[in-house]
Amino acid sequence: MQASPVLVSSDDLYLFNTGQLFRAYRTFGAHPMEYEGCRGVRFVLWAPSAREVSVVGDFNGWSSASRPVNLAQVGTTGVWVGFSPDLNEGDRYKYEIVNAGGERLLKSDPFGFQSELRPNTASVVASLNHYDWQDRDWIDNRRKHPPYEKPMLIYEVHLASWRMDAPEQLRSYEQLAQELVDYVCSMGYTHIEVMPITEHPLDRSWGYQTTGYYAATSRYGPAEGLKKLIDRCHQQGIGVLLDWVCGHFCKDDHGLRLFDGSPLYENSDYRRAEKPLWGTLAFDFGKPQVLSFLLSNALFWLDVYHIDGLRVDAVASMLDLNFDKPESMRTENRYGGTEDIEALAFLRKLNETVFLHYPESLMMAEDSSSYPAVTSPTYLGGLGFNYKWNMGWMNDMLRYMETDPSHRSSYHSLITFSLHYAFSENYVLPLSHDEVVHGKRSMLNKMPGTYEEKFANLRLFYGYWMTHPGKKLLFMGGEFGQFDEWKDYAGLDWSLLQFPLHDSMQRYVRALNHIYLNNGELWERDHEQGGFEWIDVNNAPQCMLSFQRNGKSAESSTVSVCNFSRETHSIYRIGVSNQGHYRLILNSDEAEYGGGGYSFPSRVASQPTPFHGKPYSIEVPVPALSFQLWKSETA
């Protein structure tokens, strides 16, 4: 075993210790390489409070007492370095760390690129360069066409439970590269958002309690399989987003907690470190080495796995020092406030770093707070994300839709309030996994009424959602009316598609998705006030709502008509902007989609009768619990 400082650049060590080594994964971890004419593995580890550090594995019986493989500390940098000709790619290993008190700890590699299949916890020596990417056209096109004026339909997926033939029989990355990608393409989605796939010990954590930040979980096979999945998505025109957890980590002994015997990745003040809501520990964003670790991890997934963007989890919990903490754990920042100043600085630096290297990336904040300017540039005082989940819209709309139609008139503001702030941020409208677990019921089962009314309500809701300003995200199963809430330990209930209303719901969502994709009015001006106009916003007594979406062309528009009541209107007048004809492009009450099949004209002529503040109007039938979309033919 050789341990020489020349194995690591002094510049890299300086940048790492000042929070500026943005691709630290190229230095730290276990790297197969040649050194002084000998093939082996270089190890680099940050453990400043350790007295000794050794590499242990199968080759020495998992103990440094036999065939010691010792690392040497490089000066006062806190970094330990060594080279071993005894290890090769595929070998399992851990770090044996002797802490300041003489206790021996066995730790997985924080920068390990591969992990054993759970419940085993060793790291595995792995190279990052064994895959021949075929997505150059996608990458080049992504750089030329930013996302703001493009459609965005995100399908959120938990890979384990999307399809499962039996408990513990998970699809591999390679199988998903065929089945999942083909399905997403057929349904018309533009992106897949994958729930966390960084290595984690407990399936039921869904990946949100991580131990291996640089290791794609081995549950679905080798890392090359994940690259194939992403590569095929890109070849089929599908972007891939990763649900990324940078706010906290789990406490398992082999992970980051008390890594070298001291609170290294977490804060030394337990009140700052503890996340009692989740039983995890928050990262200490005040440590520059932690910044190098996390910023490098963001770029790692973009560099190595060609990920198109990150959905940053639990931003609200990062912004507030006292998020969901009891009174005994409350702290203040240096100004006497409760904002986490270091976390704010980290988030700004994160977005600046990502956009410096990948200006076309999608950086999405899952943020339930009212913190301002989340999607404003950092040079204007914002956090620098380019999208934020609209949790307020989601909560208001689900509360409204869960209300029986006979009582909805008293809650009309819930479906209109979002337009007061819809253009204050760049929003994604999420219907995510969080809304269909823990007793919240599935999207379909949230809907009130009879069996048939549940489907009618859901079709209506999806129509309103799809034509409301903002990009779209739907969790798997919602597209065919999964009736039970999501079960992470079992596959989706695909057998429901043998029942007519579920099959019809899937066809409706497919049609709705493609209508969205093919009508620029619904996405070209998502973030501009001029892209939206209310037609009738105040008809609470009848639970009716109508609005217009405008495209780039002055005459390009669609009209959405939503009837949230059980009352059918054989003739209903709606104000419109354009003279000419309006063509019906979607009717949720079509028999094909499981509706009542109410007779509709396919085109109506606008009349020179001003109404709803518009110069023209049309008369159309409006069935109960229905959504319809009309397109101006003067465009």
Q: C-alpha 383: how far from its chain's center?
A: 17
Q: What is the C-alpha to C-alpha distance for residues 490 and 492, in angstroms, rounded to an integer?
A: 7
Q: Can you tell me the distance from the alpha carbon of 354 to that of 352, in angstroms, rounded to the nearest whole number? A: 6
185: left (phi over 0), alpha (psi -120 to 50) or beta: alpha
3-state secondary structure of 343: helix
Contact 203, 489 (CB under 8 A): yes
Catalytic residue flag (residue 103): no
CA–CA dist 469, 523 (Å, integer): 7
Pick from 237, 235, 154: which is nearest to 516 by CA?
154
Q: Is 366 a catalytic residue?
A: yes
Look at residue 513 and give its three-state secondary structure.
helix
HEC letters along 207-276? CCCCCEEEEECHHHCCHHHHHHHHHHHHHCCCEEEEEECCCEECCCCCCCCCCCCCCCCECCCHHHHEEC
Q: Among 96, 313, 367, 521, which one carries the catalytic annotation?
A: 313
CA separation (Å) from 367 to 134, 321, 344? 35, 15, 13
Three-class SS string for 348-416? HHHHHHHHHHCCCCEEEECCCCCCCCCCCCHHHCCCCCCEEECHHHHHHHHHHHHCCHHHHHHHHHHHC
DSSP line for 429-456? EEE-GGGGSTTS--HHHHS-SSHHHHHH
626 vs 635: CA distance, rounded Å:
26
Q: State the Rg of the chain over Cα.
A: 27
**Residues in CB range of 6: below 8 A, 6 or more apart:** none
Q: Could you say which of 193, 274, 308, 366 is catalytic?
A: 366
- Give the orientation angle of helix 500-518 with respect to helix 451-467, to 10 degrees: 10
Residues 569 and 622: beta-carbon distance below 8 Å: yes
What are the residues facing 586 on neighbouring strands? 629
Q: CA dist 214 to 84, 400, 595, 624, Å?
A: 22, 41, 48, 52
Closest to 79 in 3D by CA, of 37, 118, 49, 119: 49
Pairing relationship of beta strands 274-275 and 280-282 according to DSSP bridges: antiparallel
Asked if 134 and 236 touch (Cβ cutoff 8 Å), the reply is no
Per the CB < 8 A criterion, the answer to whether 105 and 252 are in contact is: no
Is the alpha carbon torsion for 282, 286, 287, 288 positive or negative?
positive
Contact (CB, 8 A) for 595 and 587: yes
Catalytic positions are 313, 366
